[in-house]
Structure 1
Amino acid sequence: MSEHSAKKTVQPNKQQLLNRLKRIEGQVRGIHSMVESDRYCVDILNQIAAVQAALNKVSVALTEDHTHHCVSKAIQECNGEEAIDELMTVVKRMIR
């Protein structure tokens, strides 16, 4: 585990994130079922696109929370450059 992944924080919108992730889990199970039952490829691809869009929404929400809370706090504590660099590394990874 890297030093960053060991950091802990309180998620301000934790229940919303968990609810979204639970819906995504259900969508992924649905895709699994579609593949098992030999559903039409385009229908499966549409469901995969929906899951990807839903995961992107979770990522954006989490990024927004992180920026408003963790990065903002780091800036106030004069650790802003490190927090911004860390955030930008993650954003770059997300948009690959």
Structure 2
Amino acid sequence: MVIIVINIIIDFRDLEYLWSVILMLIMYTCAIFYKPEKIIEKHYGWILDINPLYSIIINFRNSIFGLPIDMKAFLISIIFSLVSLLIGIFLFYHKQDKFILHI
């Protein structure tokens, strides 16, 4: 994911400041400091299901509390990681000649 963001920031320098706001929003929506079952209504649970960072956090919580790993969340995080890596590598090789011009 970082490779994708860097490729975008190289072209648009102002996104560097916007990215910090986006990261703060991601932190609050990932249910790091609260239990989502108590706050989010049942018909909004799909928002957490598509959030790849929540999948990583839920498996970390399960390992800390001695619960089995949630395979659905594990597969979501693996697929998201591989897709973002492939997109990042493609963008890097596509724009690698322009990086040195913008640094």
Calculate the TM-score normalised by the size of structure 1: 0.43
Calculate the TM-score normalised by the size of structure 2: 0.40
Higher relative contact order (CA 8 A, sep 6+): 2
